[in-house]
Structure 1
Amino acid sequence: MDERDWLVLQTLYHEKNITNAAKKLYISQPALTNRLQQMEKEFGVRIVNRGRRGVQFTPQGEYLAKCADDMLLSLQRIKENVLNMEDKITGTLRLGVSTFFTDYKLPGLLKLFKDEYPDIEFKVVTGWSNEIVHFVHSQDVHVAFIKGDYSWKEGKKLLFEEPICIASKEKIAIEDLPELPRIDYHTDQMLQTVIDNWWAENYSKPPLVSIDVDKAGTSKNMVANGLGYAILPGMILSDLEDIYKVAIKTKDGQPITRKTWMFFHDESLQLNIVRAFVEFVESLDLEKIN
Structure 2
Amino acid sequence: MDMRDWMVLQTLYKEKNITKAAQHLYISQPALTNRLQQLEKEFGVQIVNRGRRGVQFTPQGEYLARCANEMLLTIQKIKENVLNMEQNAAGTLRLGVYNFFTDYKLPNLLKLFKEQYPNIEFKVTTGYSSHIAHLIYNQDVHIGFVKGDYSWKDQKRLLFEETICIASKEKIDIHDLPSLPRIDYHTDALLKTSVDKWWSENFIQPPLVSIEVDKADTCKKMVVNGLGYAILPSMILNDVDDVYKIVLKTKGGQPIIRKTWMLYHEDSLKLNIVKSFVDFIENLDIENDI
Alignment TM-score, normalising by the size of structure 2: 0.96
Q: How does 1:41-52 map to 2 (within 5 A)?
A: 41-52=41-52
Q: How does 1:123-272 map to 2 (within 5 A)?
A: 123-272=123-272
- Is the Cα–Cα contact under 8 Å of residues 93 and 120 in structure 1 kept in the other structure? yes
Offset of 1:12 from its aligned partner? 0.8
Offset of 1:202 from its aligned partner? 1.3
1:263 maps to a residue whose letter is L
Unaligned runs of 5+ residues in structure 1 are: none
1: CA distance, partners of 2:140 / 2:285 = 27
Offset of 1:47 from its aligned partner? 2.2
Cross-structure match for 1:10: 10
1: CA distance, partners of 2:97 / 2:159 = 13
Cross-structure match for 2:275: 275
2: CA distance, partners of 1:194 / 1:59 = 41
Query: Which range moves more in the overlay, 78-87 or 236-245?
Result: 236-245
CA displacement, residues 224-247 of structure 1 (integer Å, 9 cap, x when unaligned): 111111110011101101111121
2:80 maps to a residue whose letter is E
Cross-structure match for 1:109: 109
2:134 maps to a residue whose letter is H
Unaligned runs of 5+ residues in structure 2 are: none
2: CA distance, partners of 1:17 / 1:179 = 47
- Is the Cα–Cα contact under 8 Å of residues 129 and 146 in structure 1 kept in the other structure? yes
Query: Which range moves more in the overlay, 206-215 or 75-84?
Result: 206-215
SS at match of 1:194: helix
- Is the Cα–Cα contact under 8 Å of residues 144 and 262 in structure 1 kept in the other structure? yes
SS at match of 2:263: strand
SS at match of 1:172: coil
Cross-structure match for 2:90: 90
RMSD: 1.2
Offset of 1:37 from its aligned partner? 2.3
Offset of 1:176 from its aligned partner? 1.7
1: CA distance, partners of 2:34 / 2:195 = 53
CA displacement, residues 193-236 of structure 1 (integer Å, 9 cap, x when unaligned): 11111111112222121211111111100111111111100111
Structure 1 stretches of at least 4 aligned residues deviating more than 6 Å after TM superposition: none
Offset of 1:289 from its aligned partner? 4.5
Query: Which range moves more in the overlay, 177-186 or 76-85?
Result: 177-186
Offset of 1:78 from its aligned partner? 0.2
1: CA distance, partners of 2:176 / 2:152 = 39
- Is the Cα–Cα contact under 8 Å of residues 95 and 144 in structure 1 kept in the other structure? yes
2: CA distance, partners of 1:233 / 1:56 = 41
SS at match of 2:222: helix
SS at match of 1:124: strand
- Is the Cα–Cα contact under 8 Å of residues 105 and 289 in structure 1 kept in the other structure? no
SS at match of 1:149: coil
Offset of 1:44 from its aligned partner? 2.9
Offset of 1:60 from its aligned partner? 2.3
2: CA distance, partners of 1:229 / 1:162 = 19
2: CA distance, partners of 1:53 / 1:167 = 44
CA displacement, residues 126-175 of structure 1 (integer Å, 9 cap, x when unaligned): 11111111101100000000100111000100001001011111221212
- Is the Cα–Cα contact under 8 Å of residues 161 and 260 in structure 1 kept in the other structure? yes
2:11 maps to a residue whose letter is T
Query: Which range moves more in the overlay, 174-183 or 89-98?
Result: 174-183
Cross-structure match for 2:30: 30
2:280 maps to a residue whose letter is F
Offset of 1:185 from its aligned partner? 1.0
Cross-structure match for 2:78: 78
Offset of 1:288 from its aligned partner? 2.0
1:121 maps to a residue whose letter is E
Identity rate of aligned residues, in percent?
A: 72
In the alignment of these two chains, the number of paired residues is 290
2: CA distance, partners of 1:221 / 1:106 = 21
Cross-structure match for 2:66: 66
Alignment TM-score, normalising by the size of structure 1: 0.96
SS at match of 1:171: coil
- Is the Cα–Cα contact under 8 Å of residues 109 and 289 in structure 1 kept in the other structure? no
SS at match of 2:11: helix
SS at match of 2:102: helix
